[in-house]
Amino acid sequence: MLKQFLNKIPRKSPKPDSLDAEGIEPGDNSNGFQCTLGGTTFSSRFNVVKRVSSAVFPTGGAEAVDPHMSFKDVSNSQKHGLFLSKLNLCCEVYDFNDHDKNYSKINLKHETLIELVDFVSSGSAKFNEATIAATCKMCAVNLFRVFPPKDRSNSIGGEADDIEEPMFDPAWSHLQLVYDLLLRFVSYNSLDPKVAKKYVDHSFVLRLLDLFDSEDPRERDSVKTIMHRVYGKFMVHRPFIRKAVSNVIYRFVFETERHNGMAEILEIFGSVITGFALPLKEEHKMFLLRALLPLHKPKPLGVYHQQLTYCVVQFINKDPKLASVVIKGLLKYWPITNSQKELMFLSELEEVLEMTSLVEFQKVVGPLFRKIASCLNSSHYQVAERAHLLWNNEHVLSLVSQNRQAIVPLVVSALERNTQNHWNQAVLNLTRNLKKILSEMDEELVTACQRAAEEESSTLSSSLEKRRAAWEHLEIAAGNSLISTDNAACSVAC
C-alpha cells in the first residue's frame, strides 16, 4: 500500500541542473512555439509553454488545478497554477459565424476571460517567466489572425470615409477581453521588461502592428492604446518600432494606398515625437522627410490629415529650423486637381506658418506665394476663400509685411485678375478687403504694382489681339488655297 502511494508522487526531472526554477533552459534562445492561424505561422519564444501540459501550466512541481474552478475557491498557493490553467483554456479559438455550434464553449471561454481580467486587475497575479509566456501565447492565438481581403474601396478625393458603415468583428466580445488583459499585462507595475521582452519580441510587435489594419474601429483603438504602452515600457524595442512603422507608411504611400489604421498610428507618434530629446537625431529628421511628408500624397488624406498635421507641427515645435523643410514638402506634394485636398493643405500651411520664424520664412517666400497667388485665383470658390482668409492671421501678416517687396507684386497681379474675371461674389468681396489690407501696409508699393499689372494686362491684350489677327489671316489664306486646289482638280477631271 505504501509502495503504491509513493509511486503516485511526481518525480523530479532527471536533469535538474539543465533547467531553472521555471522550467526554462537558460541557454535556449530559440523560438520554440509555432501557432498556425488562417494559414499564417506565428513564431516566438514560447518554449516554456510548449513543454508543459496541454491542460495546465504547473510550475515547480505545483499541483494541477482544474481551470473550471474559481479563484475564490482555491488557496493562494494554487492561484498561480489556476491562472496558467485558465490561460491555456482560453487558447481555444471558435468560429463566431457559427455561434450556435459552440455556444456552451464560447460562453465558458467568455466567463474565463472575465475572471482572468479581474484577477490581473486585482494585482494578485505574479508574472514570472512561465506566466509571461502563457499570457503572450494566449493573446497571440486569439488576436493575431489574417484579415479578409478588402473588397471596399478606400475613400477618394481626400475625404474621410463617412459614407460606408464600419465593419465590426463578430468575435469582439472575446477580443475585447483579450485586449483588456493584454493592456493590463503590459501596464502591470511588477512586470519585468527584461524578462517580458523575450516574449513581447520583434515578431510579437510586428504582428501587433498588423492589427492596425483591422476594419473594426474598436479594435484599432485598443491596439493603439496597447502599442503606446509597449513603446513606453520596452525601451529596447523603440528603434525597432519606429523602423517598423516607417515600413508600414512606405508600403501605404508607395504601394497600396490602403490601410485602415493610419490615423491611429499617427496618433501614437504624435505623443512619441513630443518626447524626442533635443537636439533631434538624424533618424527622426529622416522620419519626417521620408515618411510624414510623403503621407500628403495618397488620396485618402482626409482620413488621417488631422493627426498628420499634429505630428508635423510637433516636429517644428521641437526644431524651428524644420519649418522651411515642411513648407517645401507641402509645395512638392501640393494637389493639382483635387480641391478638397487643397483646402487641407491651406489649413495645414497656416498652422505651419504660425510657427515659422522670419529666417525660415525667407527661404521659401518666392515659391510659397506663387502657390498662394494661384490659390487666390482658383475657380473653386472654397479654395479661393481659404487662400484669402490666410491673410487674417496676424503672424502671417507680420511675415508678409517684413517681406512685402517680394510678396506684394505676386499677390497684386493675382488680385487684379480676380477683379476682372472671378465669378463668385464672395471671392470678389474678399479680394477687395485684401487689396485694402495691402494698401494700408504699403500704399505706394501697391499702386506701383497695380500700374505694372495694368501695363502687363494691356501688353497681354495687345499680344492676344495680334495673335488673333494672325490666325484669321492664316485661316483666310488656307481657305483661298483650298479653293484654288479644288478648281485645278476640277479642270483636270473635265
Domain locations in the chain?
325-475
What's the pLDDT tens digit per position in 305-341? Answer: 999 999 999 999 999 999 999 999 999 999 999 999 9
Q: Summarize the confidence of residues 365-391 as an average pLDDT.
A: 95
pLDDT on residue 233: 93
User: pLDDT value at position 167?
Assistant: 75
Residue 479 has pLDDT above 60, yes or no: yes
The confidence band for 230, taking pLDDT boundaries of 50, 70 and 90, is: very high
CA torsion, ordered 430, 432, 437, 439, to nearest 10 deg: 160
Question: For 258-309, what is each residue's pLDDT tens digit?
Answer: 999 999 999 999 999 999 999 999 999 999 999 999 999 999 999 999 999 9
**pLDDT on residue 4:** 53
Determine how many CB atoms are found less than 10 A away from the CB of residue 76.
Answer: 8
Q: What percent of the chain has pLDDT over 70?
A: 79
Residue in this structure with the C-alpha cell 509502495, named with its chain if needed: 3
Instruction: Tell me the pLDDT tens digit for each residue of 147-157.
Output: 877 655 444 44
Q: Which pLDDT does position 480 carry in this prediction?
A: 80
Identify which has the larger pLDDT, 106 or 464. Answer: 106
pLDDT at 16: 38
pLDDT digits (tens, 9 = 90+) for 192-212: 999 999 999 999 999 999 999
Assess whether pLDDT exceeds 50 at residue 159.
Answer: no
Tell me which of 160 and 491 has the higher pLDDT. Answer: 491
Query: What is the reported pLDDT for 100?
Result: 67
Q: What integer pLDDT is reported at residue 463 of this predicted model?
A: 75
- In this structure, which amino acid lies at residue 140? A
pLDDT-derived band at 487 (thresholds 50, 70, 90) equals low
- pLDDT of 492 reads 53
Q: What is the CATH number assigned to the segment(s) 325-475? A: 1.25.10.10
Q: How confident is the model at residue 130 (pLDDT cuts 50, 70, 90)?
A: very high
Least confident interval from 1-15, 79-93, 271-285: 1-15
Say whether the peptide bond before residue 294 is cis (omega within 30 degrees of 0). no
pLDDT-derived band at 457, boundaries 50, 70, 90: low
0.85 exceeded by pTM: no
What pLDDT shows up at residue 473? 82
Query: Which range, of 201-210, 236-245, 413-422, averages the lowest pLDDT?
Result: 413-422
Weakest-pLDDT range from 360-364, 415-419, 448-452: 448-452
